[in-house]
């Protein structure tokens, strides 16, 4: 196995070939600065991003992050200057902190393809997936697919308050937090003693010392009022929670998964439009030469990837190398364009490949 500079040169050469394939499919090559404004990323992901990114600052530019991925800067560029429809490709290093897994590299090359188009979302999803699949041919990878939009639709249709639905939607990409919230809203777990005491107090702020932290007195009072209002809300029904659990448990070949989800729609009617989109996507994938009868679909897939995915999600994995992260990932991120577009928006979907992992697999099987 080549090491050091030789390995990096080989990785860059493969990245260039992959980008050339995407250019041949109609994508325009673009670049993105290695240092990205931290404010934008913090606004999108909250403080959690600090644990996954390298942060620096200076007096002139303020807080900056080493580029954790390309999608955010490409979306910003397109929303400011792009025509429609548009296809972009890029290749370069991204940087991720790996404090919990030191064997994974903190710097590696990504090659990506992004498609912005208003017409026929199913066709756009299929185009991106098929291009990535063709680029990975010969590696014997397993493709996993999902649809974050299904769970979002199910949550939005719950018979509960807008505040509870908003909280659940914020934590879709954090399965443990999502589960803890759902169990609390369903009355499955007791109210923590400290919160119960706070809610029972006639004047919870009586005797409070000086304010410590960033919250003002008005913010604290508003939070207590919100907690009291939530405590008076009826629990989410066991019927709805059980239906959500069955939804998240769906894992099958895509056509059979669709059938099972259609049956579930009787208890979760709001997911019906998302199922129609899934059906159209499978038809489009078949037109692009994908054997959908052998394609895996997992309703919970994608919940630990980047938080901007809000529809179709996918990943390609080496079945004989469970120690490796996905060789390629991607998905739909319509809402991200709205957040970065200052009110404007355009449906978008994209995917990225890690050429370094492709080389590692090829060398191990050579």
Position 163 confidence tier, pLDDT thresholds 50, 70, 90: very high
| Count: domains in the chain | 2
Whether residue 186 sits in one domain with residue 115 = no
pLDDT beyond 70 at 214: no
Long-range contacts: 282-291, Cβ < 8 Å, 24+? Answer: 282/254, 282/255, 282/258, 283/122, 284/120, 284/122, 284/123, 284/125, 284/126, 285/125, 285/126, 285/129, 285/130, 287/126, 288/126, 288/127, 288/129, 288/130, 289/130, 290/126, 290/129, 290/130, 290/133
261 in any annotated domain: no
Q: Within a domain: residue 313? A: no
**Domain co-membership, 124 together with 167:** no
CATH number of the domain bearing residue 93: 3.30.930.10
Q: How many CB atoms lie within 10 A of CB 273?
A: 12
339 domain-assigned:
no
Q: Is the pLDDT of residue 190 over 80?
A: no
pLDDT at res. 195: 67
Residue 357 lies in a domain: yes
Q: Residue 250 falls within a domain, yes or no?
A: no
* Sheet architecture: strand order including 328-332: 28-29, 86-95, 107-116, 348-353, 328-332, 312-317, 142-147, 296-298, 251-253
Q: Are residues 225 and 109 in the same domain?
A: no
Does residue 22 lie in a domain region? yes
Q: What is the pLDDT of residue 1?
A: 43
> Where a domain ends, among 239, 272, 288?
239
Range in 119-128, 185-194, 335-344 with the lowest mean pLDDT:
185-194
Q: Are 1 and 137 in a shared domain?
A: yes
Q: Last residue of a domain, which of 188, 222, 239?
A: 239
User: Of 198, 224, 239, which residue sits at a domain end?
Assistant: 239
Strands annotated E in 27-117: 28-29, 35-37, 55-58, 62-66, 86-95, 107-116
Nearest in space to 158 (alpha carbons), one of 147, 148, 166: 166
Judge if 4 and 94 occupy the same domain. yes
Comparing 22-26, 54-58, 214-218, 337-341, the range with the smallest average pLDDT is 214-218
- Whether pLDDT at 207 is above 80: no
> What pLDDT sits at residue 144?
96
Q: What is the pTM of this model?
A: 0.88
> 23 pLDDT exceeds 80?
yes
Q: Are residues 18 and 116 in the same domain?
A: yes
State residue 60's pLDDT score.
83
Q: Which of 1-10, 277-286, 310-319, 347-356 has the lowest mean pLDDT?
A: 1-10
My answer on whether 10 and 102 are in the same domain is yes
301-326 mean pLDDT? 89
Is the pLDDT score of 364 beyond 80? no
Same domain, 19 and 93: yes
Q: Which residue in the block uniquely carries the two structure tokens 């999902």?
A: 146
- Would you state the pLDDT for residue 341? 85
Q: What is the pLDDT of residues 126-136, one digit of tens each?
A: 999 999 999 99
Q: Give the domain range for residue 88.
A: 1-32+67-141+319-326+347-366
Together in a domain, 111 and 197: no
Say yes or no to pLDDT of 243 above 90. Answer: yes
Answer yes or no: is 211 within a domain.
yes
The pLDDT value recorded for residue 98 is: 75
Q: State the average pLDDT over residues 303-331.
A: 90
Same domain, 13 and 84: yes
**pLDDT one-digit tens code per residue, 35-68:** 988 888 877 777 777 777 888 888 888 889 999 8
In the structure, what pLDDT confidence band is assigned to residue 123 with cuts at 50, 70 and 90? very high
Q: Supply the mean pLDDT for the chain.
A: 88
Q: Judge if 98 and 200 occupy the same domain.
A: no
**Range in 107-116, 136-145, 218-227, 297-306 with the lowest mean pLDDT:** 218-227
Which of 222 and 2 is assigned the larger pLDDT?
222
Would you state the pLDDT for residue 221? 66
Say yes or no: 229 and 102 in one domain: no
What separation in angstroms does the CA of 299 have from each of 44, 149, 229, 314?
A: 24, 10, 32, 11
Residue 26 belongs to a domain: yes
For position 209, what pLDDT does the model report? 52
């Amino acid at each position: 196995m080549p090491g050091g500079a030789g390995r990096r040169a080989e990785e860059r050469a493969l990245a260039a070939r992959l980008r050339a394939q995407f250019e041949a499919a109609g994508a325009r090559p673009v670049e993105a600065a290695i240092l990205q404004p931290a404010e934008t990323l913090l606004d999108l992901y909250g403080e959690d991003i600090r644990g996954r990114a390298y942060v620096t600052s200076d007096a002139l530019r303020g807080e900056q992050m080493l580029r954790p991925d390309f999608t955010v800067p490409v979306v910003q560029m397109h929303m400011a200057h792009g025509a429609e429809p548009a296809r972009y490709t890029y290749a370069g290093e991204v940087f991720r902190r790996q404090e919990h897994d030191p064997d994974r590299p903190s710097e590696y090359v990504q090659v990506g393809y992004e498609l912005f188009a208003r017409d026929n979302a199913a066709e756009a999803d299929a185009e991106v997936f098929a291009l990535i699949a063709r680029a990975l041919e010969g590696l014997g990878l397993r493709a996993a697919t999902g649809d974050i939009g299904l769970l979002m639709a199910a949550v939005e249709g719950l018979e509960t308050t807008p505040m509870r639905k908003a909280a659940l939607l914020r934590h879709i990409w954090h399965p443990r937090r999502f589960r803890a919230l759902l169990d609390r809203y369903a009355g499955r777990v007791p109210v923590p003693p400290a919160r119960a005491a706070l809610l029972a107090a006639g004047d919870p702020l009586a005797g409070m010392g000086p304010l410590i932290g960033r919250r003002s007195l008005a913010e604290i009072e508003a939070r207590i009022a919100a907690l009291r209002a939530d405590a008076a809300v009826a629990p989410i029904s066991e019927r709805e929670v059980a239906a959500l659990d069955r939804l998240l448990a769906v894992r099958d070949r895509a056509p059979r998964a669709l059938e099972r989800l259609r049956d579930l729609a009787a208890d979760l009617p709001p997911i019906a439009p998302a199922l129609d989109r899934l059906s159209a996507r499978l038809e489009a994938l078949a037109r692009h030469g994908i054997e959908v009868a052998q394609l895996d679909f997992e309703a919970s897939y994608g919940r630990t990837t980047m938080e901007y995915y809000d529809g179709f999600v996918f990943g390609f994995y080496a079945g004989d190398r469970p120690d490796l992260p996905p060789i390629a990932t991607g998905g739909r991120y319509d809402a991200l364009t709205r957040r970065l577009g200052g009110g404007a928006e355009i449906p978008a979907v994209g995917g990225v490949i890690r050429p370094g992992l492709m080389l590692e697999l090829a060398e191990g099987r050579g």
